[in-house]
Homo-oligomer: A and B are copies of this chain.
């Protein structure tokens, strides 16, 4: 994706929140942060502190006097609002907003997410400049969402569409062992249980074996774990073996 969306904070009050927004953005791979009329000016020491290093790693934050200047190079702008407004606009939840802007970004459009001041949110004038509204569905009994949390949720949903996101590889030694190794373990385990008179009657034995195999199979043991389990059997039955243990 060529163009990643920008986050634009309008009339942000506390530097701490701006820094926390930067941190949340960079967590999710976004780095174009723009501010319109930050109350305490810019740069801001408290923002540096709460960004946990994010502001240093991001390109410089651009600061504007007017919303329209901050928006001027964007093709598609979504405004985040906590409550529904009396305006006819397409409404997206965070996941839909992310999907829509990811699709547009891939088509070369520049997208931005707007967030308003901590207590008052965006003005209707700013919302009027946006192509749609993002409303994050929250517990109707408790909707007080911190601005950095709102930025995080939108950025996080966007990051699901970012093709550069890293995949988590499973190391080979953590794979479940081939069945053969489990089978050898079962045979030894059941032989020892037989010696210990675990199977009360011959009639119950097949069902009990099936249940034990079912339970141990669910553990999806690695080869190392199977060796450990052999060691467990040896220790419990008082037999020393040469089987490697951990």
- A interface residue numbers (CB < 8 A to B): 20, 23-24, 26-29, 52-54, 57, 84, 86, 88, 91, 95, 135, 137-146, 148-149, 152-153, 156, 159-160, 165-166, 168, 170, 174, 192-193, 196-198, 200, 204, 207-208, 211-212, 215-216, 218-222, 225, 228-229, 231-238, 245-246
- Decide if A215 touches B221 in the complex (CB within 8 Å): yes
B residues near A23, Cβ cutoff 8 Å: 144, 146, 149
Contact present for A168 and B246 (CB under 8 Å): no
Known: A156-B153, A233-B236. A54 touches B198 (CB 8 A): no
- Check A246/B211 contact, CB under 8 A, given A144-B52, A149-B27, A197-B235: yes
Sort A-B residue pairs by CB-CB distance and give the 4 closest, nearest first: A196-B235, A198-B235, A236-B236, A219-B219
Task: Knowing A144-B53, A149-B27, A220-B88, say if A208 contacts B236 (CB, 8 Å).
Answer: no
